[in-house]
Amino acid sequence: MNFAVKDHSQRSLLEISLAFNPELLREFFFRRQGIWRYGYIVLADCALLLLCCAKQIVLPHYFPEIPCYAAVLLLAYLGSRRALAWSLLLAVAGGILLDSGNFLPLGPSSLLLCLLVYLAFLQTGGSGPQKHPALLSLQQCLCATSIFVLLNLLFLAGSLSWTARLALLPRQLLLGVLVNAVFAGPLLFALLDGTERLLFGQAAGSAGEA
């Protein structure tokens, strides 16, 4: 299909040519790896973000002794598996969810989560499948959890004295890293990768695929 813009002497000023590839279009709309995968990514990521942010808001009431950062782990996963723009958009949205649920002014959590997503993206390296995905997921969760806790204690701890902030470090940092980075994070990564592999029959790639 050709479109052309011509002047008064019938010379083409602008020509546009459209070509449709029926095979590729059929593949895109009717195969699992096509539009359905994009739909799954959008819906699943949004639903998981809502659930994980809600978990992070609600869990301290039922498990005050165990720090669990579900939203941080999910965003570390998204930073390593999805396109950077999409992950950052979800990070801003997740930060708004966390700030609204905690009755805080909007902005600090969004900024913090954007930083975590970018660090997870940098650690992945933006390239193909990794040699040691389990170790990489552990490293990303460790980095995300530590930075989240430290920045929260530094900037978002309200009127706590420095002594009280230091006193919180053993539980929030050490135990938090143990629970989140060593146990929950790799488990979450494996679960989400496995679900994607099960549904779409291919290895979940690194950042840039979505």
Partner 1 sequence: MSSIPDKLFLWLCFCALSLSLFFLPAGVQERIQGTVRFASEPGKCLAAITARMTREALGGLPENMSVAERDALLQELTSARQRAFIAEKKIYGLQKNNDYLQYLLRLSKLPEQPHVLVVCEVIKRNPLSDYYGTLLINRGYSDGLKAGQAVRSVEGLVGVISETSAREAVVTLLGSAKFSLPGKIAGKDIRGIIHCPADYAPAPAILGFFPPEYLTLYSLSGDSFTSVEIEDQVVTCDLAGGNLVADIPIGIIRKIETDTAGACRYQISPAAALGHLNFLLVAIPK
Residues that bind partner 1 (CB under 8 A): 50-51, 53-55, 57-64, 67, 84-85, 88-89, 91-92, 95-97, 99-103, 105-108, 110-111, 114-115, 118, 121, 126, 149, 152-153, 156-161, 163-164, 166-168, 170-172, 208
Q: Please give the single-letter amino acid code of residue 92.
A: V
**CA of residue 30 relative to chain centroid, distance:** 27
Q: Which is nearer to partner 1, 36 or 101 (CB)?
A: 101
- Smallest separation (angstroms) from partner 1 to the CB of 137: 20
The backbone region for 21, taken as left when phi is positive above 0, alpha when psi lies in -120 to 50, beta otherwise, is beta
- What is the number of other CB atoms lying within 10 angstroms of the CB of residue 2? 9
Closest CB 18 distance from partner 1, rounded Å: 26
Choice between 111 and 134, CB closer to partner 1: 111
Distance (Å, whole) CA 120 – CA 60? 25
Question: Which residue's CB is nearer to partner 1, number 121 or number 189?
Answer: 121
**Can you read off the two tokens belonging to residue 137?**
């997921």
Q: Which is nearer to partner 1, 25 or 106 (CB)?
A: 106
Question: Residue 20 CB, nearest distance to partner 1 (Å)?
Answer: 27
Question: Which CB sits closer to partner 1, 34 or 108?
Answer: 108
**Considering the complex, what minimum distance in angstroms separates the CB of residue 110 from partner 1?**
4
Q: How far is the CB of 65 from partner 1 (least distance, A)?
A: 8
Integer-rounded Cα radius of gyration of the chain: 22
The answer to whether residues 200 and 37 touch, using CB atoms and an 8 Å cutoff, is yes
Joined tokens for residue 155: 């900037």
Distance CA 74, CA 82 (A): 11
